[in-house]
Amino acid sequence: MPKPLVKSVSTNYCVLSTNNLSISEKAELPDAVRLFYFRERNVSKNILVSACLLGENVKYSGGNNFSSKLTALLRRYDVNIIPICPEVLGGLPIPRLPAEIIAADIIDCNGQSVLAEFQRGADAVLQRAKQTHCRIAVLKENSPSCGSRFIYDGTFSGTLIEGEGLTTQLLRRHHIEVFSELNLAELENRLKKEYQDEEK
Ligand code: SF4
């Protein structure tokens, strides 16, 4: 991974140029460096975003779910994007077998439980949210990690049911609001409220 270029350092802050890094490389910066980087920006504008929605090839197939509408909205509100992929953070490879939630377990299409990796990834995302003071997340709908309204039903037949992915459940238990790329109007209302409240 190329090293971020340290432009200047003082006792209070460190200005980093991360322009030469991809989103996934920024996500992998050591926490100490990331915290320095975000300290100089308004942390209330830090938002967790599924890396696949930003065009990172982290999904199980090796592709991504880039959403131009989402990225345009995030640019309009000048938020600080914290890209995350719980499944990769949990140690799963790219590509990997598709997995679905079945009762209290998460099983890949070969019948192996990947619950431990999903849990590790969810914990890592929560830790990152706390370190960067995120109160809002935008996560990919339908995923067994990131889904916020719908997930697949566990039959690997493409059937959706109402439900939440494992990371979404954990974030919501810690009062972090989770939106998806499919409810951008709600997300925009939330961003407007957040920044109006801040200006008062
Ligand atoms: S775990 Fe979430 S961020 Fe990672 S590929 Fe799946 S939906 Fe995208």
Q: pLDDT tens digit string along 109-120?
A: 999 999 999 999
Rounded to whole angstroms, how far apart are CA atoms 146 and 169?
9
> Mean pLDDT, to the nearest integer, of 13-41?
54
Residue showing tokens 């990225």: 71
pLDDT at 6 over 50: no
Sign of the Cα pseudo-torsion (31, 37, 43, 45, in order): negative
Selected residue with higher pLDDT from 27 and 104: 104
pLDDT of residue 9: 33
For residue 198, how far is its CA from the centre of ligand 1 (angstroms)? 31
Q: Is-contact 161 153, C-beta < 8 A?
A: yes
The ranges assigned to domains in the chain are 1-40, 43-199
pLDDT for 32 beyond 60: no
> What pLDDT, on a 0 to 100 scale, did the predictor assign at position 195?
74
Q: Which residue would you say has higher pLDDT here, 38 or 193?
A: 193
Q: Looking at residue 15, what is its pLDDT? A: 35
- Which of 54, 57, 58, 60 is the best mutation target for the ligand 1 pocket, counting ligand atoms within 8 Å of the beta carbon and taking the most? 58
**What tokens were used for 4?**
């971020």
Nearest CA to ligand 1 atom 5: 59
- pLDDT for residue 7: 37
Main-chain phi, psi angles of 130, to 5 degrees: -70, -45
171 lines ligand 1 (CB under 6 A): no
CA distance 96 to 112: 12
- For tokens 């499919």, name the residue: 182
pLDDT for the residue 45: 85
| % of residues, the chain, pLDDT over 70 | 76
Rounded mean pLDDT, 142-153: 98
Give the tens place of pLDDT for each residue, 158-188: 999 999 999 999 999 999 999 999 999 999 9
Q: Is the CB of 165 under 6 A from ligand 1?
A: no
Q: Give me ligand 1 centre to Cα 144, in Å.
A: 9
Lowest mean per-residue pLDDT among 26-30, 66-70, 156-160 = 26-30
Ligand 1 centroid from CA 155, angstroms: 19
Burial of 137 (0-12, 13-18, 19+ CB in 10 A): buried
Give the model's pLDDT for residue 198. Answer: 62
> Bridge-partner residues for 101, per DSSP?
106
Query: What is the spatial distance between Cα 2 and Cα 21, in angstroms, rounded to a whole number?
Result: 7
